[in-house]
Amino acid sequence: MRAHRNNVRKYLSFDANKNFFELTAVKVAFGTAGLLAGVSVLAIILNSNVVWRFDYQGLNHLLTVFKLPLGILATLIPVIALLAANHRSVQTKEQIRVTVSNNNFVNYFRHVEQFDKFIEARPGLKNYVSNKSTLHSFLFPNARLGDLAVGSEVEMLELGIIKMIDERAQKLKSVPHNQAIKILDEIQGIAEGHFGEIGLKVYSSSSKHSIPVPGAAGETLNLTDGDVARLFKEIGSTLSALMSFAGFDASFRPHSEINLAIYKLIGAPSLKLATNNSGDEFQYEIKLLD
């Protein structure tokens, strides 16, 4: 039943691209009124002793005799006026939609162009960018629809990544050396994987030392100068660069917990790791979230 009603509604809908008299609703209105008027005229003629006179008395009397069909036809005037008003409203709505769509299209590409210039004007930060288009799509997911604000999910996702890193960083205190290297490898993987997906890279201009990660797979943990602090500092600097790029939206203000995490990451205490595995207890403490 509901499907039938939807089909009827669709059949009688107003198409902004059609001429008014091409609309099905208008044709139905004319057809219904004409049919009812025609039936009533036929009924009057067949059931009345109508004498056809074409003088002024006969013509005036004609109006009286056929008052009903004329009244039916007269109802078409307000109905057609109502349908015409509705059709104009639909056309106006469509014109507004097309205008907004065109404006959004132009504004989107202008926004992308200006964002590109925004990055290029910051040589100290653009080294963190691996894909400008991906980064723009991440920061401004609704830009094609005309919403040029930083996406509401950006901060939530970054806080989630910070929490994941923090949970692992908390395990670095008082664990065997080999296990700590595995944890650091996880932290590095989370950071590089996440930033890589959004068009950034954990950037460093210094050479990195490869430290074996215990296990059969034979992975390596790459730490700049072999320093644990440099891993956290690079993650913090990349996150800071992301917040700076989000600042392309002048109304954007990073969440206080993100700013705190950046501060703690960049200020991480130094600790050099040797390339040989040790069973000694690992002592390193950093807490990103209060």
Q: What is the pLDDT of residues 21-35, one digit of tens each?
A: 677 777 888 888 888
Q: Is residue 118 part of a domain?
A: no
When divided into structural domains, the chain yields a total of: 2
Enumerate residue ranges in the chain where pLDDT < 50. 3-4, 8, 11
Task: Quote the pTM value.
Answer: 0.71
pLDDT of residue 191: 95
Decide if 143 contacts 111 (C-beta within 8 A): yes
**Which range marks the domain in which residue 41 is found?**
2-100
> Is position 218 within any domain?
yes
Last residue of a domain, one of 100, 123, 146: 100
The pair of structure tokens assigned to 175 is: 């664990």
Return all residues near 226 (Cβ < 8 A) that are at least 6 apart: 209, 211, 272, 273, 274, 275
Query: Torsion angle of alpha carbons 140, 145, 149, 152, nearest 10°?
Result: -70
What separation in angstroms does the CA of 159 have from each of 104, 132, 232? 30, 22, 16
pLDDT for 59 equals 65
- Residue 8 pLDDT: 46
Assigned domain for 116 exists: no
| 69 and 144 fall within a common domain | no
Q: Which two tokens stand for residue 245?
A: 């790029």
